[in-house]
């Protein structure tokens, strides 16, 4: 009898393992789907897939759509037509959908340059010289014969007067659009990045895209509109070599031959490990059933109790299980998951602390490849890991020159960390309000930083499939790289909303006092929207222009305590703000920044401009700016302030203005 029970237990265990084995095998089925086609693009196969293909076909990161018999790649919220997929060189050739066939339409619809891409993207602008990843502890790179040249930048300029530089081609008369061809402005295109000496005054960079490099196309003749159009219409190549390395960093059971990359066991990286992890997940359950069957009913009660405990543990998921489920649901994220031991090694046991706050502590670290990183160790979460999940869900899918780059993360039990590119010049906070050892930035540099931050916020609002509201724009959350290029950081309070939603819902106010929009407190002003970020940017811009905090309790006169009110009155009286060691041009630019800031901090959201308009105002002439209304309510208006679950109370506008200023200080 005992032998029979043992055989039964063994049979049950074998059955469970076989089921798990079958489930793991299903992970590799995406390689065996029939090829698809759309228009002129035939044999669309792994890793590519059409959105109409079965869910198990291809890789989700390499989805293409078929629209009007055109194969379309959606890249950074832009639409690009696919011209060719090369499976031997791991490249895909695409062209901006704004460059239309036959009508010499030159201007691309989408702003794109090499800075948009990183080695963690599904597509990169060159075969990687050092693909990040490990194979049994050894770093690997792409085969040298697959390393290709970078695509070349194409820059479009819009100028008020003709350019003297011969490196630009005048396309003003090329377009058949009469409104463009009859415009009094001059439009130019240049293949290759322009230098500062190339671009004259009264010129603006209107658009950027990519084209084949000189190495790929050594003979380039730009003598006619048709020549230029043909160059642009041919498109540019992106590498999808990254697809061959999918999950290699996580599982490490791979090897690279000449090419293609080979991974043992059904050509799926980590196959055996995933199977083993599946078995381990149910190990307790398997052993318990086997033990109960072998001992028959002798220990029935302990077995029942054990099963109840197991069921209870599975049903009552902890905060950490919720975070794990969230990470598993984010299939489109291409981030490296580090272990806690990896974090300790890269930070040399948390030796070099960069900063500390309510969010946690930031340490300086170094990757095996030599790159410097900032490691943010999150403190104990008060919202079931929502801060961590918000940051990963938002910044984990963003690639913009003015948004900090998230490299990876760590989740082990209660320990959570986020790994970013290291910003050697720290936060903007220490440069606006000079501290010992900090670099005093010129007014021109401060203006460039403001413009970069504005572009980053505008990208969050309009450049992604979902609109991203940051809700915590402030100097401390603007980081500066080695060239003082600004990077928006700290997305712990960020929220994602459908792009078409003009008004969003929040369960509670979020942000930092001094930069929070009034509609987060007063419900009669208007709904919560992207205009909340516009307000925060306005308060930031005001401090950058004035080089002082907006609230100054130690001011000599009470009228100077709140800087926006004081500077508004100064402008009304025809006076300017005194700036030390500033040229007339710098004073003019600083005044423009303050004027734009006053527009941004209007009390009512509807009175504030969009970030697109803010950029236009910053880039335009100050003479074109009108004086906004005073950024507080008129004496006839009143607001209702929400006070928890208590009844609403109504106050006069003057009282509310005072309470608003004091609450923000």
**Contacts of 368 by beta carbon, 8 Å cutoff, 6+ apart:** 139
Query: Are 450 and 618 a contacting pair, CB within 8 Å?
Result: yes
Strands 49-50 and 63-67 turn out to be parallel
Among 2-11, 50-59, 304-313, 315-324, which stretch is predicted with the lowest mean pLDDT?
A: 315-324
Query: How many CB atoms are located within 10 Å of the residue 226 CB?
Result: 10
Query: Are 423 and 481 a contacting pair, CB within 8 Å?
Result: yes
Tens digits of residue pLDDT in 219-240 = 566 678 888 888 888 888 888 8
Give pLDDT, residue 104.
62
Beta strand spans in 347-397 (E): 353-357, 360-366, 372-378
Count the alpha carbons within 13 Å of 155 in the hemisphere toward its beta carbon: 17
CA-CA distance, 403 to 526, in Å (whole number)? 28
Give pLDDT, residue 279.
57
Supply the residues annotated as catalytic: 472
Give pLDDT, residue 310.
60
Nearest to 236 by CA among 147, 152, 114: 152
Query: Are 399 and 76 a contacting pair, CB within 8 Å?
Result: yes
Tens digits of residue pLDDT in 528-538 = 999 999 999 99
Mean pLDDT of 202-223: 69
Of residues 363 and 327, more confidence is placed in: 363
**Contacts of 542 by beta carbon, 8 Å cutoff, 6+ apart:** 550, 563, 564, 567, 594, 597, 598, 601
Long-range contacts of 226-230 (CB under 8 A, 24+ apart): 226/104, 228/106, 228/169, 228/171, 228/174, 228/189, 229/99, 229/104, 229/106, 229/174
Query: Are 471 and 510 a contacting pair, CB within 8 Å?
Result: yes
Of residues 452 and 290, more confidence is placed in: 452
User: What share of the chain has pLDDT > 90, as a percent?
Assistant: 23
pLDDT at residue 303 greater than cutoff 90 = no
Mean pLDDT of 4-12: 53
How many degrees, rounded to 5, is the angle at CA 91 between CA 89 and CA 97? Answer: 160
CA-CA distance, 60 to 37, in Å (whole number)? 17
Q: Which two tokens stand for residue 633?
A: 């309510």
pLDDT at residue 2 greater than cutoff 70 = no
Q: Which two tokens stand for residue 101?
A: 């066939």
Tens digits of residue pLDDT in 416-446 = 899 999 999 999 988 887 665 567 788 889 9
Mean pLDDT of 582-596: 90
Q: What is the dihedral of CA 316, 318, 322, 328, to 10 degrees?
A: -90
Q: Which two tokens stand for residue 394?
A: 């938002």
User: What share of the chain has pLDDT > 70, as a percent?
Assistant: 62
pLDDT at residue 249 greater than cutoff 70 = no
CA-CA distance, 10 to 5, in Å (whole number)? 9
Query: Are 479 and 471 a contacting pair, CB within 8 Å?
Result: no
Mean pLDDT of 559-565: 76
Long-range contacts of 304-307 (CB under 8 A, 24+ apart): none
pLDDT at residue 262 greater than cutoff 60 = no
Give pLDDT, residue 384.
53
pLDDT at residue 414 greater than cutoff 90 = no
Q: Of 159-173, 247-261, 529-543, 555-569, which one has max mean pLDDT? A: 529-543
3-class DSSP state for residue 250? helix
Domains of the chain, by residue range, sit at 2-26+275-317, 38-246, 326-421, 433-664
Query: Are 429 and 355 a contacting pair, CB within 8 Å?
Result: no
Mean pLDDT of 111-116: 72
Of residues 419 and 285, more confidence is placed in: 419
Tens digits of residue pLDDT in 508-527 = 777 888 899 988 887 778 88
Q: Of 24-38, 437-451, 528-542, 638-652, which one has max mean pLDDT? A: 528-542
Give pLDDT, residue 129.
38
Q: Which stretches within 428-562 are classed as H helix?
A: 429-432, 443-462, 531-546
Give pLDDT, residue 266.
34
Tens digits of residue pLDDT in 337-360 = 888 999 999 999 999 998 886 577
Beta strand spans in 368-515 (E): 372-378, 406-412, 415-421, 466-469, 478-480, 486-488, 495-498
Query: Are 13 and 292 a contacting pair, CB within 8 Å?
Result: no
CA-CA distance, 356 to 360, in Å (whole number)? 6
Q: Mean pLDDT of all residues in the chain? A: 73
Q: What is the dihedral of CA 394, 400, 404, 408, to 10 degrees?
A: 60
Of residues 297 and 264, more confidence is placed in: 297
Selected from 3.40.50.10320, 3.40.109.10, 1.10.1740.10, 1.10.510.10, the CATH number assigned to the domain covering 433-664 reads 1.10.510.10
Q: Which two tokens stand for residue 330?
A: 């984010």
Please report which confidence band the pLDDT of residue 199 belongs to, taking 50, 70 and 90 as the band edges. low
CA-CA distance, 578 to 235, in Å (whole number)? 51
**Contacts of 113 by beta carbon, 8 Å cutoff, 6+ apart:** 153, 208, 209, 210, 401
Query: Are 489 and 479 a contacting pair, CB within 8 Å?
Result: yes
Selected from 3.30.200.20, 3.40.50.300, 3.40.50.11890, 1.10.760.10, the CATH number assigned to the domain covering 326-421 reads 3.30.200.20
Give pLDDT, residue 313.
55
């Amino acid at each position: 009898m005992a032998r029979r029970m043992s055989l039964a237990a063994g049979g049950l265990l074998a059955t469970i393992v076989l089921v798990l084995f079958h489930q793991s095998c299903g992970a590799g089925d995406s390689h065996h789907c029939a090829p698809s086609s759309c228009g002129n693009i035939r044999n669309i196969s792994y890793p590519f897939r059409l959105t109409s293909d079965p869910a198990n076909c291809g890789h989700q990161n390499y989805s293409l759509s078929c629209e009007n018999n055109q194969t379309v790649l959606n890249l950074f919220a832009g639409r690009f037509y696919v011209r060719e997929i090369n499976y031997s060189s791991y490249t895909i050739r695409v062209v901006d959908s704004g460059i239309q066939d036959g009508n010499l339409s030159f201007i691309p619809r989408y702003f794109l340059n090499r800075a948009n891409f990183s080695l963690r993207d599904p597509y990169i602008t060159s075969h990687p010289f050092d693909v990040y990843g490990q194979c049994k502890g050894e770093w690997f790179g792409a085969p040298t014969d697959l390393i290709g040249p970078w695509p070349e930048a194409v820059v479009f300029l819009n100028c008020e007067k003709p350019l003297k530089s011969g490196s630009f081609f005048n396309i003003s008369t090329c377009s058949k659009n009469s409104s463009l061809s009859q415009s009094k402005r001059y439009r130019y295109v240049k293949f290759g990045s322009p230098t500062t000496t190339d671009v004259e005054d009264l010129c603006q960079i209107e658009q950027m895209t990519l084209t084949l490099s000189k190495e790929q196309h050594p003979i380039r003749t730009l003598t006619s509109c048709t020549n230029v159009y043909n160059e642009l219409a041919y498109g540019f190549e992106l590498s999808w070599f990254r697809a061959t390395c999918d999950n290699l960093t996580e599982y490490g059971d791979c090897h690279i031959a000449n090419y293609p990359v080979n991974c043992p066991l059904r050509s799926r990286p980590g196959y055996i490990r995933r199977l083993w992890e599946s078995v381990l997940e149910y190990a307790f359950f398997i052993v318990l059933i086997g033990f109960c069957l072998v001992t028959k009913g002798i220990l029935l009660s302990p077995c029942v109790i054990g099963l109840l405990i197991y069921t209870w543990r599975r049903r009552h998921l902890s905060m950490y299980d919720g975070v794990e489920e969230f990470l598993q649901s984010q299939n489109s994220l291409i981030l490296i998951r580090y272990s806690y031991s990896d974090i300790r090694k890269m930070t040399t046991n948390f030796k070099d602390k960069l900063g500390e706050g309510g969010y946690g502590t930031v340490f300086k670290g170094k990757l095996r490849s030599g790159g410097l990183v900032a490691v943010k160790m999150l403190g104990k979460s008060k919202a079931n890991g929502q801060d961590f999940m918000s940051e990963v869900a938002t910044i984990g899918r963003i690639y913009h020159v003015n948004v900090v780059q998230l490299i990876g993360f760590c989740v082990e039990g209660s320990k959570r960390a986020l790994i970013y590119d290291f910003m050697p010049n720290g936060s903007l906070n220490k440069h606006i309000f000079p501290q010992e050892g900090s670099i005093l930035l010129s007014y021109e540099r401060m203006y460039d930083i403001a413009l970069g931050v504005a572009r980053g916020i505008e990208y969050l609002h309009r450049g992604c499939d979902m609109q991203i509201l940051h809700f915590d724009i402030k100097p401390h959350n603007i980081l500066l790289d080695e060239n003082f290029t600004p990077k928006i950081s700290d997305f712990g309070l960020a929220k994602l909303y459908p792009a078409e939603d003009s008004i969003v819902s929040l369960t509670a106010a979020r942000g930092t006092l001094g930069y929070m929009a009034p509609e987060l407190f007063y419900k009669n002003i208007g709904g919560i929207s992207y205009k909340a970020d516009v307000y925060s940017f306005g308060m930031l811009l005001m401090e950058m222009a004035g080089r002082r905090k907006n609230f100054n309790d130690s001011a000599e006169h009470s009228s100077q305590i709140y800087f926006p009110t004081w500077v508004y009155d100064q402008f009304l009286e025809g006076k300017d703000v005194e700036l030390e060691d500033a040229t007339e041009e710098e004073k003019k630019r600083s005044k423009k920044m303050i004027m734009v800031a006053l527009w941004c901090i209007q009390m009512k959201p509807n009175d504030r401009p969009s970030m697109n308009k803010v950029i236009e105002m910053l880039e335009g002439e100050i003479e074109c700016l009108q004086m906004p209304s005073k950024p507080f309510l008129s004496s006839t208006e009143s607001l209702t302030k929400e006070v928890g679950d208590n009844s609403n109370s109504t106050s006069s506008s003057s009282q509310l203005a005072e309470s608003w200023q004091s609450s923000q200080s």
